[in-house]
Amino acid sequence: MNKIDIRTVNVVQYLQPLREGGSLPAIVKADDGFLYVLKFRGAGQGKKALISEFIGGELARAIGLKVPELVFMNLDDSFSKTEPDEEIQDLLKFSIGLNLGLHFLSSAITYDPLVSTADALTASKVVILDSLISNIDRTAKNTNLLNWNNELWVIDNGASFYFHHNWTTWKNHLTRTFPLIKDHVLLPKATNLKKASEEIKQLINIDVITEIVSNIPEDWLLSEGEVLTPDEMRAAYIQFLNAKLSMIDELVKEAEDAR
């Protein structure tokens, strides 16, 4: 099994906000010279969205989907002091510390179901991935996919794992399927679900899941008033994903019936 190695970089320049995203991510430059889309820990869904983004992105990569490199990004307090926009100033202030960045794909275009292309196997893998991680936000209204160099790239998984917004009831989600898959933007093109599920079963197992979850920064798992410790949360993410993996045939049938 491949060990994942997530780099940590420092933000050196705040370039521009991306206002089409509800959480106001931004294009920033890091001290490695590259541009990234920075997802802020101080945004609406907070650190939980970063955890979803991270696990979803690394699982997507593990099953052979295209995902921009994910990096941990240190943000210091100097940026909020020079930012004139009050909304952004607050966001920067609440996001000091470790955030998540995605490598910026210059000139990529948002996936449009009417004109963009996605092959059947790739579309099927994305559909199954989103069933496994309970991602409610990959619809025609908000595709969270890019086309870059004639390939489909998965970019936004922040709305996944919604059970973690209430840890007292998370176990109720272990046996649930994912009926919302009926709204998935790629469902019409996901005509190769069987083959996709066979490949996913070969590529993901408890070791892969554990390796990804173990890389979640401890700091993201610490919040006031949480009923679980960081170690218990890690164990819960692993148990949840393992449960979904064991239900993959059921999830595939649900997607096929919806299609």
Report the distance separating Cα 125 and Cα 201, nearest Å.
11
Q: Which of 204, 156, 209 is nearest to 50 (CA)?
A: 156
Count of beta carbons in the 10 Å neighbourhood of residue 129: 23
Indicate the domain borders of the chain. Answer: 8-103, 111-142+156-258
Residue 164: both structure tokens together:
């973690």
Tens digits of per-residue pLDDT, 210-249? 999 999 999 999 987 889 999 999 999 999 999 999 999 9
Q: Which residue has the tokens 């794992």?
A: 161
What is the pLDDT, as a whole number, of residue 22? 65
Report the distance separating Cα 212 and Cα 240, nearest Å.
13
9-23, 35-49, 136-150: least confident range: 9-23
**Whether the predicted pLDDT of 26 surpasses 60:** yes
Over residues 107-131, the mean pLDDT reads 95
What's the whole-number average pLDDT of the chain? 94
Over residues 8-30, the mean pLDDT reads 88
Secondary structure of residue 173 in the 3-state scheme: helix
Residue 79 pLDDT class (50, 70, 90 cuts): confident
DSSP state letters, 182-235: GGBTTGGG---HHHHHHHHHHH--HHHHHHHHHTS-GGGG--TT-SS-HHHHHH
**Whether the predicted pLDDT of 21 surpasses 70:** no
- Residues above pLDDT 90, as percent of the chain: 84
What is the pLDDT, as a whole number, of residue 19? 76
- Residues above pLDDT 70, as percent of the chain: 98
Asked whether 98 and 155 are in contact (CB, 8 A), the reply is no
Secondary structure of residue 244 in the 3-state scheme: helix
What is the pLDDT, as a whole number, of residue 94? 92
Over residues 151-158, the mean pLDDT reads 95
Report the distance separating Cα 236 and Cα 191, nearest Å.
32
